[in-house]
Amino acid sequence: MASFEETIMKKVGVLTGGGDCPGLNSVIRAVVRYADKEGYKVVGVKNGWKGMIENDTIDMDINSVSGILPKGGTILGTSRTNPYKKEGQVEKVKANFKKMGLEALIAIGGEDTLGVASKLCKEGLNVVGAPKTIDNDLSGTDVTFGFDTAINIATEAIDRLHTTAESHHRAMVVEVMGRHAGWIATEAGLAGGADVILIPELPIDIEEVCELLKKRHARGKSFSIIVVAEGAKFKEGKLVKQEEKLDAFGHIRLGGIGHRLGEEIEKRAKIETRVTVLGHLQRGGTPTAFDRVLGTRFGIKAMELVLNKDYGKMAALDGNKVTAVPLEDAVSKLKTVDMELYNIAKIFFG
């Protein structure tokens, strides 16, 4: 039989969905610590929306989040489950929300996870969000946590490739993440001194790329660094993908543009080329100080929204101020690369 204290304590759920990224644990930690101060019990939902469908939870307290701030990934686990994909799963989410005794649910994720959160809120569930994606492509916030760590990892990789490219007089193609938006490619490429940066927002003109590299080599530079986002594609070409199968949110698995690009450079520009695909390295490991602080601020804001019963909102960064925006607006469109920034990068091409 439940104790009197358990009966009167309010409960808030927290889940992490979609791709993992550094900084998730800082949000979880902030939610739990702030909730504890306000007399709330926290229910950790395992593996994103899958946990809400299966009623798979753990009770959380301040001891359960001790020491997780510098840890990458998410202690709650994650999945790409979409309850709107299969009949009856949304009803299970709603039923389990009641069964868990939740006053509200905090969903931490990107466009897919928060897209589900937005729909559920419209259908009567008390949900708030915190924005997460290394791609930095979520509208409504200037920056998402996880992005800073990803560009630092990518920049370090580019720095390391400079020395081997110069030693062997090669062109080095670096493929980074970025399905629809080239934020990682643009900022890491600019920071790492890339000679060409290719992003999903602009189709690749392979003749122009090869011309830039040949001119660079003609003036005595015997090596080049080319950074390409995984979602970039050639003019009149299709996305390069690993398989045709779609995930629960209708996404294909991308990968391979770096190798295609390397082949074309060798064939057309006659420059020996090697390819490095950074892949999941960008999502793993210890978060930067910036992402730890931003994740903490987002977690506090999300819990603040719960306390104020201001549901249907997402924590967001506006300048240096953490504010709140409607979930519906945050997932309505993707935030693509600022062309002013990309044009700055273009000054250094070749």
Domain boundaries, the chain: 4-145+287-330, 148-284
Task: Give the residue-averaged pLDDT of 83-103.
Answer: 96
d(CA 304, CA 78): 24
Q: Using 50, 70 and 90 to split pLDDT, how confident is the model at 236?
A: confident
- Is residue 1 over pLDDT 60? no
Please choose, from the candidates 192, 133, 138, the residue with its C-alpha nearest in 3D space to the C-alpha of residue 327. Answer: 138
- Residues of the chain by 3-state class (helix, strand, coil), percent to 5: 40, 20, 40
Residue environment code for 133-171, b if the CB has 16+ CB neighbours within 10 A, otherwise e: bbbbbbbbbebbbbbbbbbbbbbebbeebeeebeeeebb
Question: Residue 248's pLDDT is what?
Answer: 60
Three-state secondary-structure class, residue 98 = helix
Read off the tokens for 114. Answer: 């928060």
> pLDDT digits over 142-165, tens only?
999 999 999 999 999 999 999 999
pLDDT band at 2 (very low <50, low <70, confident <90, very high): very low
Separation of alpha carbons 106 and 121, rounded Å = 11
Average pLDDT over all residues of the chain: 92
Better-scored residue on pLDDT, 254 or 29: 29
Cα angle: 174, vertex 179, 182; to 5 degrees: 60
Weakest-pLDDT range from 123-132, 197-206, 236-245: 236-245
Residue 6 has pLDDT above 50, yes or no: no
Element of type H or E holding 166: helix 147-168
pLDDT of residue 68: 97
As a whole number of angstroms, the distance between CA 348 and CA 309 comes to 49
Complete edge-to-edge strand list for the sheet that includes strand 40-45: 57-60, 40-45, 10-16, 104-109, 127-131, 313-318, 321-326
CATH match of 4-145+287-330 with 3.40.605.10: no
Q: Which of 20, 112, 135, 291 is catalytic?
A: 135
pLDDT at res. 350 = 84
pLDDT beyond 90 at 49:
yes
Paired sense of beta strands 241-246 and 171-176, if any:
unpaired
Q: What is the pLDDT of residue 3?
A: 46
Residue 343 to residue 16: CA distance in whole angstroms: 35
Confidence of residue 256 (pLDDT cuts 50, 70, 90): confident
Determine contact, residues 83/49, Cβ cutoff 8 Å: yes
Rounded to whole angstroms, the Cα distance separating 261 from 273 reads 9
pLDDT above 60: residue 246: no
Average pLDDT over residues 214-232: 93
What pLDDT is attached to residue 298? Answer: 98
The predicted structure's pLDDT at residue 4: 43
- The two beta strands, 196-198 and 241-246, are unpaired
- Least confident span in 125-129, 152-156, 249-253, 317-321: 249-253
Residue pair 22/149 in contact by the 8 Å Cβ criterion: yes
pLDDT confidence tier of residue 235, bands split at 50, 70 and 90: confident
CATH 3.40.50.460 assigned to domain 148-284? The reply is: yes
Q: What pLDDT does 252 receive?
A: 55
Over residues 271-285, the pLDDT tens digits come to: 999 999 999 999 999
**For 168-209, how does the pLDDT look when each residue is reduced to its tens digit (9 = 90+)?**
999 999 999 998 999 999 999 999 999 999 999 999 999 999
For 137, the token pair is 């492509």
Beta bridge partners of 59: 43
Residue 135 among the catalytic residues: yes
pLDDT at 244 over 80: no
pLDDT (average), residues 297-321:
97
Question: Considering just the CA atoms, what is the radius of gyration of the chain in Å?
Answer: 22
